[in-house]
Structure 1
Amino acid sequence: MLKEDHVQDLHALLPTTGTTTGTSRRTALKAALGVGYAASALPLMAQTAIKTPSDGLTVGEITLDVNGFGVPVYRAAPAGKTGLPVVLVLSEIFGVHEYIADTARRFARAGYLALAPELFARQGDAQGYGEMAKLIAEVISKVPDAQVMADLDACVKWAAANGGDAKRVAVTGFCWGGRQTWLYAAHNPAVKAGVAWYGRLVGEPSPLTPKHPVDVAAQLHAPVLGLYGEADTGIPLDTVAKMKAALAKGNAAAKSSTFVVYPEAPHAFHADYRPSFRKGPAEDGWTRALNWFREHGVA
């Protein structure tokens, strides 16, 4: 569901005309991972964007081989530390740009090994499209949920071998990544807690997206905290109610899941570089997310 709320998610950070393929696309993606903001949002809200320093952290790109494809991942962690709790940070619809990288650094400063994978890399570079309809058709609509789950599994495996504690794994995501947060909490038993920021909950099944959060709610492996906005025009409150009802009929993890709906908050209220940013809900949600992970044994 790509509604008006997501329009800025689909704009490029780098070139805004044409597309790139093959080696040139990968080179552009590698150069852009964790760098820059959506061009359409930058002039409006750059002054509110949080800048988390990287001193004392190990940050930068790693590449994970997943079935023969190199998935780029932004990594942030306290320098020189091991046995760290792990958090997967799932991006909005246009991938791992500065906001997502900064969010990973915030988690690293809280003591986590944070991994933010570029989950659109196989389908194309969302930053290289100037035509909205073409980007939706050629990239976003072609990302299979099964591919996302496999990439996230690879992140967990890498973390366990590189300073992370495999017994303390969390997942969080924003918008498109919020939907995937619910799905991954139902997919991988290693996950101990999830926090979904305004991720879509219902939808029509398709070959690439056969199930949605409401369909897997009863089988969650880990409790999920849903952070949603009352004024989110893309996620009506009746869909939140449907998800609550599905969770109530589920297992212990499902029944332990809960929602916080912020009055008057729009979609993407945590995105500090966008006009949708709402400082109060964003800060409250962040505190709740850290507490949620701590309460469920991840921190």
Structure 2
Amino acid sequence: MNQQQHHIPQEAFDWYDEYAHGAMDRRTFMKKLGTLVAVGYSMTVLTSALMPNYALAEQISFNDPDIKATYEAFDSPQGHGKGRGYLVTPTNATGKLPLVLVVHENRGLNPYIKDVARRLAKAGFIAFAPDALFTLGGYPGNDDEGRAMQRSMDRDKIQNDFIAAAIFLKSHPLGNGKLGAVGFCFGGYIVNYLAAVDSSLLSAGVSFYGTPAVAELRKNIKAPLQIQLAELDERVNKTWPEYEDDLKKYGVDYQMYMYKNANHGFHNDSTQRFDEASAVLAWERSLAFFRQHLSSVPS
């Protein structure tokens, strides 16, 4: 566990997870934090630990000479009509490149997710991170408003927007046609969904603490999957045994890694849920998995 987390009670992280995923409203969340203030914790320390500080999340600058970042639009006739995302390409690579769709959490395309796309491009992949909030004006600059915006949208249309984004990226002229996807929280669910909704869409998927697609779709999964879970994430982890049973039943090539003492969101380096050791290891595993499954030109 990140050393900075030691003075924050675990229940504060659990309450934040409930709040962030709609199981608790803000008033109740703040009231519960107030019970910790009553026994000596600082509200400033608690909220600064739980709320993101995106200045901490930039590992790769958008000015890095090894990458080029642009915004690109795509058609989404079964979704919201049009979508837009953050496309990052390596500048010095030669030949056709592997492709990775990056799927954000339940709050839109925030700076952390954009940085993940830059990290992938720096590692030699063409990365594309769509913003589900595009039709509402895009990520609003803060996560609370972003969550409310995404919650107000039609979930089926959002899912279709990500299918359209995957098809758009897969046909990129500099790509080798091998498409991977990585997602976090809601994005982890979308990775599982993309693998299940169309067996020909993905060549590999990495799901960070995401719930599975509905059971009736799972028989379609053909892509290898890497599942990254946090030991303290009870909400997501309770969905894993049934999902694993189906992955085994349908002969899916999968890996599951459970990160000890890690919270939901441990890869996100903008909050104190970040667990550096687990995040670094999980990212190394993700890159190796993509290199294994996306490097060759499809026949």
Distance in 1 separating the partners of 2:114 and 2:262:
23
Distance between the aligned counterparts of 2:86 and 2:222, measured in 1? 26
Q: Which structure 2 residues correspond to residues 46-57 of structure 1 after superposition, within 5 A?
A: 46-47=55-56, 49-53=57-61, 54-57=64-67
Structure 1 counterpart of 2:85? 73
Count of residues in Structure 1 that have an aligned counterpart in Structure 2:
251
Q: Show CA shifts across 1:5-58 (max 9, x none).
A: 164589xxxxxxxxxxxxxxxxxxxxxxxxxxxx9422xx844x3420331211
Is 1:122–2:135 an aligned residue pair? yes
SS of 1:139's equivalent in the other structure is: helix
TM-score by length of 1: 0.74
Q: Identify the residue that residue 249 of structure 1 maps to in structure 2.
A: 249
* Number of the residue aligned with 1:96: 109
**How far apart, in 1, do the equivalents of 2:233 and 2:137 lie?**
28
Please say if residues 123 and 139 of structure 1, whose CA atoms lie closer than 8 Å, have aligned partners that are also in contact. Answer: no
Take 1:135 and 1:273, find their aligned partners in 2: how far apart are those partners?
17
Q: Which residues of structure 2 form unaligned runs of 5+?
A: 1-13, 23-49
Q: Is the Cα–Cα contact under 8 Å of residues 228 and 260 in structure 1 kept in the other structure?
A: yes
Equivalent residue number for residue 230 of structure 1:
231
Residue 294 (str. 1) matches residue 295 (str. 2)? no
List per-residue Cα deviations over 1:108-164 (Å, max 9, x = no partner).
Answer: 0111110000123335655378977x954x632533235423443344335524311
The offset of 1:181, in angstroms, is 0.3
**CA spacing shift, 1:175–1:285, aligned 2, 3 Å:** same
1:213 is displaced (CA, Å) by: 4.7
Corresponding residue of 1:27 = none
| Contact 1:85 1:165 (8 Å CA) reproduced | yes
User: Aligned to 2:283, what secondary structure does the other structure show?
Assistant: helix
Q: Is contact 2:102-2:128 (8 Å) kept?
A: yes
Identical-pair percentage: 26
Which blocks of at least 5 consecutive residues in structure 1 are unaligned?
11-38, 202-211
TM-score by length of 2: 0.74
RMSD: 3.0
Structure 1 residue runs of 4 or more that deviate by more than 6 Å after TM superposition = 128-132
Tell me if structure 1 keeps the 8 A contact 2:76–2:82: yes
Measured in 2, the distance between the counterparts of 1:283 and 1:247 equals: 26
AA partner of residue 248 (structure 2)? A
Give CA-to-partner distance per residue, 1:63-93, whole Å, 9 cap, x none: 1132283311101011265511000000011
**What is the match of residue 262 of structure 1?**
259
Q: How does 1:1-20 map to 2 (within 5 A)?
A: 4-5=16-17, 7=19
Cα separation, 1, equivalents of 2:86 and 2:234: 31
Specify the structure having the higher radius of gyration (Cα): 2
Distance 1:41 1:89 in 2: 19
The DSSP-based 3-state class of the residue aligned with 1:180 is helix
Once the two structures are TM-superposed, the CA of residue 94 in structure 1 deviates from its matched residue by 1.3
